[in-house]
Amino acid sequence: MYQVTRRTLWVRSAVVVAAAGLALTGCTNEGTTAAGGGTGDAAEAVSPSASSGDGCTMDTYGGSGVEAVDLEGAKIGFSQSEPDSASFRAAETQSLKDAAADAGAELVVTNANNELPKQISDIQDLLNQDVQILVVAPVNSDGLDPALSAAADAGVPVVTIDRKVTNTACEDYLTFLGSDFVDQGKRAADALAKVTDEKANVAVLLGPSGNNVTDGRQKGFVDQVAAEYPDITIVAQQTANASRSEGQDVTAQLLQSNPDIDAIYAFNDEEGLGAMTAISDAGKTPGEDVAIVSIDGTRNAVQAIVDGTYNAVIESNPRFGPLVFETLEKFYAGDAIPEDIIIKDGEYTSDNAEQDLDQAF
């Protein structure tokens, strides 16, 4: 259990929050990883001193400053973007619930069901309930302007998680907490190169358009392949909308039109698991005839690595709760908060998947 005070935070979940010293951009939650794989054991968080130089403070946020909030007893709204039927979203929501309970805060949760107009309405409804802080997992990187403006008018700070918005930090929102999506794509390219001996014909299954997660994971992968692996050829790129069924359908079509495909890079585990089924349906052995690498860290995908039908998963850490509350604690203590705070992601391979299976979500 961790307890929030004005200066101290103890981490309850499997994520470890920021180490000492925040840089203005790209501050990393260094965390502990087990055997170089999934998120490791819980550890004590270090409360850094106030950042020097630029950063967002209570005096500068929104141009006119905001009032201090005691996190114990605070009413906090969380606007979730997608149904909790998705493993990542379920873990993300639960992490925030656990962190709020440990801090003695009230968390009010809404779910936009992947619909931007509903998310805007949800945020307005949370403001009408007099929440003092907003945590938002955006449906899209663009389009939240009305909701962010309403929060600014109400003097309510906004922390965005997982997906970054294109609005202005410290003016429209406080900070972004999430992964380095370009780095995830780069690491996925390295993992795929390792399991294919740096020679493959790869089909790329993209995520939904209109957000920085898809763009970053695509760019990181494509750029790393171009720079480092001349014998890896990207033969097709097509969206599968983060869906298992679409991942299966798209992969089936691609295997039929490009029978030389012997590797799949999937935007997320759901797409990768769909691809695994399509590979089997095509009479090929997933994980052997066609390698599969994806990003997420769901239990089903990590189990498939253990079973030998999947090759690697780059973790996208959903356990934002402790990091959100540490960031808020620093903000209300007067510290300068950087625009981006990057959470640490692990990795699952055949070397560690079995021993780290319980860390998957």
Cite the residue boundaries of each domain of the chain with CATH code 3.40.50.2300.
Answer: 27-178+318-346, 181-315
- Predicted confidence (pLDDT) at residue 7 exceeds the cutoff of 90: no
With vertex at residue 50, the alpha carbon angle to CA 46 and CA 53, rounded to the nearest 5 degrees, is 135
**Residue 54's pLDDT band (boundaries 50, 70, 90)?**
confident
CB 269 within 8 A of CB 158: no
326-346 mean pLDDT: 97
Cβ-Cβ contacts under 8 Å for 253 (sequence gap 6 or more)? none
- Predicted confidence (pLDDT) at residue 344 exceeds the cutoff of 80: yes
- Predicted confidence (pLDDT) at residue 21 exceeds the cutoff of 80: no
Cα-to-chain-centroid distance, residue 252:
28
* CA–CA gap between residue 310 and residue 303 (Å, rounded): 9
First to last CA, the chain: 20
**Residue 22's pLDDT band (boundaries 50, 70, 90)?**
very low
Tell me the pLDDT tens digit for each residue of 264-285: 999 999 999 999 999 999 999 9
The closest of 344, 350, 328 to 58, measured between CA atoms, is 328
Which pTM was predicted?
Answer: 0.84
The rounded mean pLDDT for the chain is 87
310-321 mean pLDDT: 98
257-260: long-range pairs with CB below 8 Å, 24+: 258/201, 258/203, 260/201, 260/235
Task: Fold for 27-178+318-346, please state it.
Answer: Rossmann fold (3.40.50)
- Predicted confidence (pLDDT) at residue 141 exceeds the cutoff of 60: yes
Task: Fold for 181-315, please state it.
Answer: Rossmann fold (3.40.50)
Instruction: Find the radius of gyration of the CA atoms of the chain.
Output: 20
CB 347 within 8 A of CB 317: no
* CA–CA gap between residue 276 and residue 135 (Å, rounded): 35
DSSP 161-188: ESS--SS-BTTTBSEEEE--HHHHHHHH
- Residue 352 tokens read as 């560690």
Phi, psi of 354 (to 5 degrees): -65, -45
**Residue 37's pLDDT band (boundaries 50, 70, 90)?**
low
* CA–CA gap between residue 240 and residue 274 (Å, rounded): 10
**Residue 4's pLDDT band (boundaries 50, 70, 90)?**
very low
**Tokens 């998963």, residue located:** 313
- Which of 60-64, 143-147, 192-196 has the least mean pLDDT? 60-64
- Predicted confidence (pLDDT) at residue 52 exceeds the cutoff of 70: no
